[in-house]
């Protein structure tokens, strides 16, 4: 298939806000494609070249892309940055640059999908010395042969910002319609494989082929998420009683895969952090029996045995150098709470009570290093409140409430697993912009623009936060966000949506000033959430629900 035909479908997706129409466009594109092209097309629709669990990355940021475009078009980087400031979209900026290029290429060839995919795959494989030059050369070759429209979407694919408003649910329904298989079967196959491209390829073989997909060791799946409740009584009403009440640790959630002596650790964002947690690898290898996929919450431990807050252990997640030093400085305790796969069998359809019993048989506790999460089973609200208070007194966030008969549902925020935190309400927001400070803070980003996800999983602004931030936090935030700056206008820096922060607030109000239609009253930044990606941020639906509940 020609890449131009795919881009025409992308443009159609971008031009409609109707989910039904988007589903039809996805269906049309998939039915036109050859079987071997289907997984590639599905990945590109979702805005990436590789599945989310893959360690392969194109590894080309906007700055490098702009440099290539300048070389191809004969325009200055400043001119292209000007287009970017005007449009706020790197794809549109590159499209304008290609339309206004000063250099004319006489020997060009049409781009095929296979050429684009193969070249982007080659780019992802280059490492070490001169790798950047090799990446630039291949990317320049693609852009030289691209039409302005193809350049728009090629650029967005490279930086993983498609802006077509297509969520996984739309692609799921498009696959179901294209190949005549039930949508729920497609959904289940995606849950266990975490690879929508593979799911689409199997779907074109029929329903039976989809049923062959299952959990695989060292291919992480999206983690099940919990809904929030305000009281023990509300939680009991939703999950039913008796239920499991479990410590909600203020730590770092891990999905740990073990086969024999081989152990890999993945974050909630499906990043492989095995190197940063070699101490956890060692204790898991020696004290967990069988081949398995388990979930755990890992917390930092002080010298006196106190449990440290998340911000302490979060320093490990991004650490690339001097890892042994930080392992010695911040020892950790891993609290295991679920098992998803054991000795060749998926456990996700088993009741939580059964999964917990199996977990208890395979874990050998090592004090202050590896333990089962602390949990009680009760239908007594008073006992649960006492347990909640005990958890808070130890520095935890609160408790989890879990239905004993519930399965594990990858990637969904479910009602059979709830979280109850302290009374302070908070939201997980994406930083999409920041403003440089003044005076002694002139070298730091000091005010941060916050967003939540709309119905198409696109960030919509909810307000700004500039309080609750120490000088140390400002320095850390600036260092973290500086590489994500896409362009600047005066003191305003537009930030690539990557960092999630937890923000407390006093009240949610209606507001015409922000795209979301809401604003936070007296927001205060609590902490960065390096364990979460932008796809894990709170949604406008949740903001609306909180607003409505406050009105009752």
Q: Which of the residues are catalytic?
A: 248
| Cβ–Cβ under 8 Å, residues 142 and 116 | yes
| Cβ–Cβ under 8 Å, residues 268 and 536 | yes
Q: How far apart are CA 539 and CA 261, in angstroms?
A: 40
* DSSP letter for each residue of 403-417: -TT----TT-EEEEE
Integer CA distances (angstroms), 388 to 246, 337, 376, 514, 526, in order: 9, 17, 11, 37, 21
Cα-Cα end-to-end distance for the chain? 55
Q: How far apart are CA 340 and CA 458, in angstroms?
A: 30
**In a 3-state reduction of DSSP, which class is residue 231?**
coil
Q: How far apart are CA 91 and CA 103, in angstroms?
A: 20
Integer CA distances (angstroms), 22 to 11, 32, 91, in order: 11, 16, 20
For tokens 């398995």, name the residue. Answer: 292
In sequence order, the β-bridge partners of residue 52 are: none
Q: How far apart are CA 282 and CA 220, in angstroms?
A: 20
| Cβ–Cβ under 8 Å, residues 449 and 433 | yes
Q: How far apart are CA 477 and CA 526, in angstroms?
A: 12
Integer CA distances (angstroms), 516 to 166, 447, 505, 508, in order: 18, 19, 16, 12
In this structure, what token pair is assigned to residue 23?
A: 């589903």
For tokens 């000091």, name the residue. Answer: 446
In sequence order, the β-bridge partners of residue 429 are: 501
């Amino acid at each position: 298939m020609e890449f131009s035909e795919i881009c025409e479908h992308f443009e159609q997706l971008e031009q409609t806000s109707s989910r039904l129409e988007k589903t039809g466009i996805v269906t049309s594109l998939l039915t036109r494609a050859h079987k071997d092209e289907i997984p590639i097309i599905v990945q590109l629709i979702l805005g990436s070249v590789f599945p989310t669990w893959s360690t392969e990355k194109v590894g080309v940021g906007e700055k490098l892309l702009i440099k290539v475009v300048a070389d191809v078009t004969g325009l200055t980087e400043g001119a292209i940055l000007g287009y970017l400031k005007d449009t706020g979209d790197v794809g549109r900026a590159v499209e304008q640059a290609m339309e206004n290029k000063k250099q004319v290429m006489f020997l060009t060839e049409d781009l095929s999908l296979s050429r684009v995919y193969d070249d982007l795959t080659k780019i992802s494989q280059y490492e070490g010395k001169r790798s950047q030059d090799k990446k630039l050369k291949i990317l320049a070759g693609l852009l030289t042969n691209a039409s302005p429209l193809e350049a728009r979407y090629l650029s967005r694919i490279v930086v993983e910002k498609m802006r077509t408003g297509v969520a996984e649910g739309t692609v799921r329904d498009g696959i179901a319609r294209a190949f005549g298989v039930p949508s729920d079967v497609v959904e289940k196959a995606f849950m266990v494989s975490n690879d929508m491209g593979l799911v689409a390829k199997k779907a074109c073989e029929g329903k039976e082929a989809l049923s062959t997909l299952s959990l695989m060791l060292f291919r992480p799946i999206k983690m099940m998420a919990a809904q929030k409740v305000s009281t023990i009584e509300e939680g009991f009403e939703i999950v039913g009683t008796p239920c499991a009440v479990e410590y909600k640790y203020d730590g770092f959630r891990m999905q740990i895969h073990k086969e024999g002596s081989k152990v890999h650790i993945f974050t909630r964002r499906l990043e492989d952090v095995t190197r940063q947690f070699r101490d956890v690898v060692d204790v898991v290898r020696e004290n967990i029996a069988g081949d398995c996929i388990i979930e755990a919450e890992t917390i930092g431990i002080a010298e006196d045995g106190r449990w440290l807050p998340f911000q302490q252990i979060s320093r490990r997640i991004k650490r690339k150098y001097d890892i042994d030093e930080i392992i010695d400085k911040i020892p950790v305790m891993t609290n295991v709470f679920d098992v998803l796969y054991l000795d060749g069998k998926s456990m996700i359809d088993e009741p939580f009570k059964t999964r917990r019993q199996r977990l208890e048989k395979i874990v050998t506790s090592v004090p202050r290093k590896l333990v089962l999460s602390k949990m009680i089973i009760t239908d007594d609200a008073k006992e649960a409140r006492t347990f909640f208070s005990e958890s808070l007194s130890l520095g935890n966030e609160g408790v989890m409430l879990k239905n004993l008969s519930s399965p594990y549902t990858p990637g969904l925020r479910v009602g059979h697993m709830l979280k109850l935190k302290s009374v302070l309400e908070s939201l997980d927001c994406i930083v999409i912009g920041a403003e440089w400070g003044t005076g002694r803070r002139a070298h730091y980003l000091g005010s941060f623009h916050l967003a939540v996800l709309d119905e198409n999983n696109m960030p919509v602004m909810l307000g700004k936060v500039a309080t609750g931030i120490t000088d140390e936090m400002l320095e850390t935030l600036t260092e973290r966000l500086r590489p994500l700056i896409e362009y600047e206008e005066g003191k305003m820096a537009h930030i690539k949506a990557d960092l999630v922060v937890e923000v407390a607030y006093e009240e949610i109000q209606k507001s015409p000033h922000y795209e979301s239609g809401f604003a936070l009253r007296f927001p205060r930044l609590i902490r960065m959430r390096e364990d979460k990606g932008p796809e894990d941020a709170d949604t406008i639906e949740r903001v609306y629900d909180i607003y409505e509940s406050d009105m009752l």
